[in-house]
Structure 1
Amino acid sequence: MGRGTYALARVAVVVRAPAALLWWPGLLAAGTGAAVPGLTGRRTGLAAGAALFLLTAAGAFLARRRRYTALANGASRAARSAFLQDRAVTMRNWRRARRWWLPAAFLAAVGSSFALPAAGGLALAGLGAGLWAKALWLGGLERRTGALLWVRADWAQGSPAAKAVPGYLTTGLAAGDAAPGGARRRARTAPARTVVSAAR
């Protein structure tokens, strides 16, 4: 999977990174939009929003699951030259790369309330819920296989399941500072930027 020193980002952390940024602004946009009568009325807007919430949550959860599973099944052991990227660094890098479209999505969700009150915000929240659920699904996959899934940080600029990603790398469950599924560990078992070989 390449030679030389390189950084690895947790797959589940990359998937989880946008969840809160979509969930909370989505709920805020929905609450703001519910105060606007809109062209269709609040009842119609909320009904449409509930349907969009379910559709976007299901879409985010199911999207590329076969690709994730195939990459996980073909994963190889991480090299000794690799370094584990901190969870906070992975989250910050993802958010920094998308610092413009996240506020734009929030404004679009609020603006859509003039047509369908709260619908855009609930759709945004559904995306966040679906990605959070997908991160939990990846955590279950990691627990079943007894290995954490990592991807080279320079490969996963867009998505950890993009066509440009040739494969995943694995470490033991104790590696890094994030638990299976990408959540923070309650008690850190490894220092920041731990060398992969030390976590085996």
Structure 2
Amino acid sequence: MGRGAQSLARVAVTVRAGAAPLWWLGVLAAGTGILVPGLTGRRIGVIAGAAVFLVTFAVVTLARRRRYTRLADCATRAGRHDVLQDRRVTLRLRRRAHRWWLLLAFLAAVGTSFVVPVAGGALLAGAGAGLWAKALWIGRRERADETLLWLRTDWMAKGPVGKRVKGFRTTGIAAGDAAPGGARRRS
């Protein structure tokens, strides 16, 4: 890249990257948990799992929303020489960076099924659904402002609003290959 140019990834795509793996691993762990009676029994496990799902969904959806809003309000326009990263590349890099954490979380969720069936899988699925809802919230904001939010890729290690993130960049609504909210753009 030339002098002053930076690589940018979509904020909504980085949030959405963890949603599908967490959801499907959670559903798989919960399905495995139904097969195991556990110490508390299936009925209590399913009820506890439903409660855990709802609480996790709400917490993940609302977590750090104020920081997202503050960074979006202070966003600057992307430079002419900035490189916009493809949606597919962002998804692949984010999922590859967290694959071991996902594996450990899945094994822990399956392991908790021997104590409280379904609860661990519901926790993972709730986190995935919460990330998806947060990406939709970002997408609604992008549509309302008619700008897409971008993030420097070298700041992404701790997440889209981690300590290293100093601000977002913006582009027009037609930039990049992802629609507002991080979904694949329909042609």
Distance across 2 between alignment mates of 1:159 and 1:99: 15
RMSD of aligned alpha carbons: 0.7
Distance across 2 between alignment mates of 1:107 and 1:37: 17
Distance across 2 between alignment mates of 1:25 and 1:136: 21
Alpha-carbon displacement from aligned partner over 1:112-138 (angstroms, at most 9, x marks no partner):
000000110011000000000000000
Distance across 1 between alignment mates of 2:173 and 2:5: 22
Deviation, structure 1 residue 164: 1.3
Distance across 1 between alignment mates of 2:101 and 2:167: 28
SS of the equivalent of 1:8 reads: strand
Deviation, structure 1 residue 5: 1.8
Paired AA for residue 119 in structure 1:
A
- Stretches (4+) displaced over 4 A: none
- Which residue number corresponds to residue 169 of structure 2? 169
Distance across 2 between alignment mates of 1:118 and 1:155: 36
Distance across 2 between alignment mates of 1:166 and 1:143: 23
Distance across 2 between alignment mates of 1:37 and 1:82: 55
Q: Mind listing any 5+ residue stretches in structure 2 that lack a counterpart?
A: none
- Which residue number corresponds to residue 127 of structure 1? 127
Distance across 2 between alignment mates of 1:20 and 1:139: 17
Paired AA for residue 145 in structure 2:
T
Deviation, structure 1 residue 79: 0.6
SS of the equivalent of 2:99 reads: coil
Q: Could you state the TM-score of these two structures normalised by the residue count of structure 1?
A: 0.91
1:35-114 equivalence runs, <5 A: 35-114=35-114
Q: Could you state the TM-score of these two structures normalised by the residue count of structure 2?
A: 0.97
Distance across 1 between alignment mates of 2:123 and 2:97: 22
Q: Give the structure with the higher percent helix.
A: 2
